[in-house]
Amino acid sequence: MLAGVKEITKDDLLEEVQKLAGENWRLISITGTDTGSGIDLIYHFDQELTLLNLRFQIDYGETIPSITPYYFCAFVPENELKDFLGVEVTNLPVDYQHLFIISELTPVKIPLLRKAAGDDAGEVKPE
């Protein structure tokens, strides 16, 4: 299993992040996974090569607070979450409106959601 995981809840997030920001941890990234019953979020932090993962689950369509007040750089992974998993983030300072990495021409909206993959989600044969 994943090392250095700390299970938290959505309400604790800002408090925990504020504590880490005070201790000079570096935000690596935020990973979101569609588990089938909701979205699993992992916030990766690093300090002197030690990895710390804050983890919590949310339901589809639930919003999460932005951690940009403590880590401005979080707007990049948060915009990614919006693009790929459709997670709405409140108080984003730089909001790309779902067009950070994917564009209007992308055929599948919110591509990493399971239901977006559709019924034909078998093995793909590249064209």
Partner 1 sequence: MIGKTVIPFGPQHAVFPEPFHWRLVMEEERVLDAIPGIGYMHRGIEQLATRMEFAKTLFLAERVCGICSFMHALAYAESLEKLMDVEVPPRAKYLRTIWAELARLQSHLLWIGLAADAFGFESLFMQAWRVREYVMDMVEFTEGGRVMTSSVTIGGVRRDLHEEAIEFLLENLDKLEVGFEEVYQVFTEDPLIKHRTVGVGILSKEDSIRLGAVGPTLRGSGVAQDMRMLGYAAYGELEFQPVVEDSCDSYARMVVRLKECFQSINLIRQAIKKLPDGDVLVKVRGKPEGEVVTRIEQPRGELLYYIKANGTKSLERFRIRTPTLSNLPPLMHMIKGACLADVPVITLSIDTCIACTER
Can you give the binding site for partner 1, defined by CB under 8 A? 1-3, 21, 24, 26-29, 31, 33-34, 42, 44, 46, 48-49, 51, 53, 71-73, 75-77, 84, 94, 99-103, 106, 108, 111-112, 117, 121-124
Whole-number Å distance between alpha carbons of 20 and 1:
23
Contact status, residue 63 vs residue 90, Cβ threshold 8 Å? yes
**Strand-pair category, 39-47 with 50-58:** antiparallel
Whole-number Å distance between alpha carbons of 98 and 105:
12
Output the six-digit token pair for 18.
């504020």
The nearer residue to partner 1, 8 or 116, going by C-beta atoms, is 116
**What value, to the nearest 5°, has the Cα angle with vertex 102 and ends 98 and 107?**
105
Residue 86 CB, nearest distance to partner 1 (Å)?
Answer: 14
Residue 3 CB, nearest distance to partner 1 (Å)?
Answer: 8
Residue 54 CB, nearest distance to partner 1 (Å)?
Answer: 13
Residue 23 CB, nearest distance to partner 1 (Å)?
Answer: 11
The nearer residue to partner 1, 11 or 122, going by C-beta atoms, is 122
Name 88's bridge partners.
63
The nearer residue to partner 1, 13 or 67, going by C-beta atoms, is 67
